[in-house]
Amino acid sequence: MNSVPIALNKAAMRKYEDLEVPCDDVIATYVWVDGTGIDIRAKDRTFDFVPKTKKDLPIWYFDGSNTAQAASDNCDTFIFPEVIYSDPFRRGSHIMVLADTYQYNYQPTETNFRKNCVMLCEKGEVEEPWFGFNQEFFLTTTDKRPLGWPPGGFPAPPGPYYCAIGANKIVARDLMEAFYRCCLYAGVKINGINPGTTPSQWNFQFKDSAANQTDTPHFLLVTTPLYVAGVANRSCCVRIPRQVSEDKRGYLEDRRPAANADPYRVISIILRTCIFDE
């Protein structure tokens, strides 16, 4: 059961946002995936220097019994710093740290799929594989209803919303603009964003070093029993862009993984299939 959302007075916080932090102090937010394989956890610590690489950061730990990653009688779970991002919220020299989780015996936790993914990426690096991801998602209210949908009802059928403009069609463009800018500031290699096929649905795409860009892994839950490919066909398993079909070269779009797929596992499957022929 989730906690009940409580509206706080954000104005009260603003008078503290400009408080100067001593110039020698840097706040690092370690971010990791918990035992659900979906949810994100984070904790902060202060350093008296500016970390430049992951080697500058210490291995830390947390109580894994509260994240479904360890037993209560042996709960210390390690977080290994892997990638440093600039913090778009605190700004300055403050950072966010993507971390991997490890058990007490230094073996990856059950939901640490990134470790194996990175090993496969390094092994297959000589082939120079290219791939990116498109993430679809909905913005929802605190009661889990899509933002901007009519109370107790549904919006008009898909058609007028995809890549649209105008307040009567697009929900929370300002929020998505903030998200886009935060990604670029942080150093995430985001390709672009666009509105989806219904109000409050959005997509974003990212490329390169995908094993380091997928900050929110999800379980691979959906499989497709019938493989069908088609040119410019968004109803099939694999879409071949029309320009790729005409040029006889380019990329393919595999539409089978669901929006809640774990991207680390998807990357591993792609590499095992296309590079290592497993």
- What secondary structure does DSSP assign to 73-103, as a single string? GG-EEEEEEEEEEE-TTT-TT-EEEEEEEE-
Strand pairing report for 229-231 and 253-254? unpaired
Joined tokens for residue 274: 């296309």
Verify that 263 and 146 share a domain, yes or no. Answer: yes
The pTM (predicted TM-score) of the whole model is 0.84
Instruction: Give the pLDDT means over successive 10-residue stretches in the chain (278 positions).
Output: 68 79 90 93 96 96 97 96 93 94 96 93 84 85 87 90 92 92 90 93 76 37 53 83 88 76 86 86
Model pLDDT, residue 230? 85
Q: What range defines the domain where residue 108 resides?
A: 10-112
Model pLDDT, residue 109? 97
Whether residue 120 lies inside any domain: the answer is no
Contact at 8 Å (CB) between 40 and 32? yes
Model pLDDT, residue 209? 52
Return the SS3 of 59. coil
Q: CA-to-CA distance for 64 and 78, rounded, in angstroms?
A: 9
Verify that 130 and 185 share a domain, yes or no. Answer: yes
Model pLDDT, residue 131? 76
Model pLDDT, residue 101? 97
* 28: CATH: 3.10.20.70
Model pLDDT, residue 212? 52
Contact at 8 Å (CB) between 97 and 57? yes
Whether residue 30 lies inside any domain: the answer is yes
Query: Which of 40, 204, 223 is closest to 135 using CA atoms?
Result: 204
Verify that 91 and 14 share a domain, yes or no. Answer: yes
Q: CA-to-CA distance for 11 and 230, rounded, in angstroms?
A: 53
Whether residue 262 lies inside any domain: the answer is yes
CB atoms within 10 A of CB 56: 13
Whether residue 117 lies inside any domain: the answer is no
The domain tally of the chain equals 2
Whether residue 160 lies inside any domain: the answer is yes
Strand pairing report for 132-138 and 190-195? unpaired
Domain boundary among 77, 112, 147: 112
Q: CA-to-CA distance for 54 and 97, rounded, in angstroms?
A: 8
Q: Say which residue the tokens 């899509």 belong to.
A: 146
